[in-house]
Amino acid sequence: MIESKEIISELAPLIEECGFDLFGICEAVIPEEDQKNILSWVQEGKHGKMDWYPKNMDLRFHFRNLGFEPKSVLTLGTLYNDPEYDIFCKTMSFQFSRYTIGEDYHEVLRKLAKPLLSELRKKFPNHQFRQGVDSLPVPEKVLAREAGLGWQAKNTNLIHPDLGSYFFLTVILTDLPIVVANVAVKDRCGTCSACIDSCPTGALAPYQIDAGKCISHHTLEDRSSTIPNTFGWIAGCDICQDVCPWNDVKARKKGIQTRREEFKTRSIFKEDPNSILDLDERGFEKTFGDSAISRMNFSMFRRNVELVKDWSRKKKNI
Ligand code: B12
């Protein structure tokens, strides 16, 4: 059996070179407590309009039907926060969340992991390695927490004590048995309730989210012709992360910003942000075709824009 410490120290330089800022390994096991919480979340309908979520629960909890039996999981994280966002995007009359302003993270994290996957396959030719970036229905935050990458916070995101929560996750499942000895990262939310108090839709309770009330869900996951108020957000929402003291860049000793060009603020936000509101279908495809918001189709985009325009007008008249 191989020890995780051994693999981590051997692969650390390559992982860093690939562009990952966080890395850990855990057993391919979803703790019972988490299974119970996720199950009751679904039973209470807190997955909102994400009808795809309750499918494949066997895979989600037990990694079944993958064609191999995962024994261990490598979890990797990449920071996406770009300081230019605060200069250009925060000042706009409408909001795009931080993760939508650069390239689609699903594609980027797949590309970044390629050299690592080839090295792992070369080193362990008799074992399987399968990457997931949301693409596999496995609870990535739970696995990342188990791998020691952070704690699951009151806003339900995973927070790293030095790096905050503006990072994406990807997992590599493998049937390679690895002995892990992780020390859990302590919960540092304390008595703070900034995320819960700031959510304008009341989607959060401590350590729990009602996704059906979350603005991010409304803008990107709800395909209905009308959605509830998004309070100025067109794509995703960052309120519960922006108010989190662990993401306060100025207060932190270390820089918590992306080193990836792919996640830098795209030019339209810097040059002519208001033109976003008038994009036609071709313009939308051209401007955002390679972004994570390509998850929403053009009619969802128009729906969100009109809602935000209406909300701004009403706000001005008050
Ligand atoms: C579904 C989903 C969503 C949904 C639901 C959000 C959520 N918190 O789960 C919606 C559309 C709302 C969403 C929004 C966002 N998402 Co999202 N999302 C996912 C996805 C695909 C699955 C997550 C999941 O399984 N949720 C199920 C719920 C039950 O899990 P949970 O909230 O973590 O619940 C745990 C605890 O809260 C607790 N709990 C839950 N219910 C209860 C009930 C009781 C009684 C108790 C005691 C405890 C408890 O136990 C659960 C298990 O540990 C993952 C990718 C993946 N495959 O894992 C990305 C992921 C979680 N999302 C991510 C991101 C970036 C976002 C946004 C920031 C995007 C944005 N700016 O708009 C927001 C953040 C909103 C928020 N506060 O969570 C990142 C998070 C990275 C990080 N550092 O944590 C992920 C990992 C994607 C990635 N590959 O990087 N997302």
Name every protein residue with a CB atom under 6 angstroms from any ligand 1 atom: 34, 37-38, 40-41, 50, 97, 99, 133-134, 138-142, 152, 155-158, 165, 167-169, 207-209, 211, 214, 216-217, 221, 236-238, 240-241
- Nearest CA to 139 out of 155, 152, 129 is that of 152
Work out the number of other CB atoms within 10 angstroms of the CB of residue 110: 16
Contact between residue 26 and residue 149 where contact means Cβ atoms under 8 Å apart:
no
Comparing 71-85, 124-138, 156-170, 247-261, the range with the smallest average pLDDT is 247-261
Q: If residue 233 lies in a helix (H) or strand (E), which one and from where to where?
A: strand 233-235
Contact between residue 198 and residue 239 where contact means Cβ atoms under 8 Å apart:
yes
CA 255/CA 250 separation, integer angstroms: 9
How many angstroms separate the alpha carbon of residue 205 from the centre of ligand 1?
Answer: 13
In a mutational test of the pocket of ligand 1, which residue from 216, 219, 220, 263 has the highest number of ligand atoms less than 8 Å from its CB? Answer: 216
pLDDT of residue 231: 97
Contact between residue 31 and residue 141 where contact means Cβ atoms under 8 Å apart:
no
Amino acid at 285: E
pLDDT of residue 252: 58
State the residue for tokens 């309070």. Answer: 231
In a mutational test of the pocket of ligand 1, which residue from 21, 26, 37, 52 has the highest number of ligand atoms less than 8 Å from its CB? Answer: 37
CA 170/CA 168 separation, integer angstroms: 7
Amino acid at 267: S
CA 121/CA 127 separation, integer angstroms: 7
How many angstroms separate the alpha carbon of residue 128 from the centre of ligand 1?
Answer: 27
Work out the average pLDDT over 246-259: 74
Q: Which ligand 1 atom minimizes the distance to the CA of 214?
A: 12
Structure tokens at 78: 């990449």
pLDDT of residue 256: 81
Sign of torsion, CA 293 294 296 301?
Answer: positive
pTM above 0.95, yes or no: yes
How many angstroms separate the alpha carbon of residue 92 from the centre of ligand 1?
Answer: 27
- In the predicted model, is pLDDT for residue 255 greater than 70? no
Work out the average pLDDT over 231-253: 88
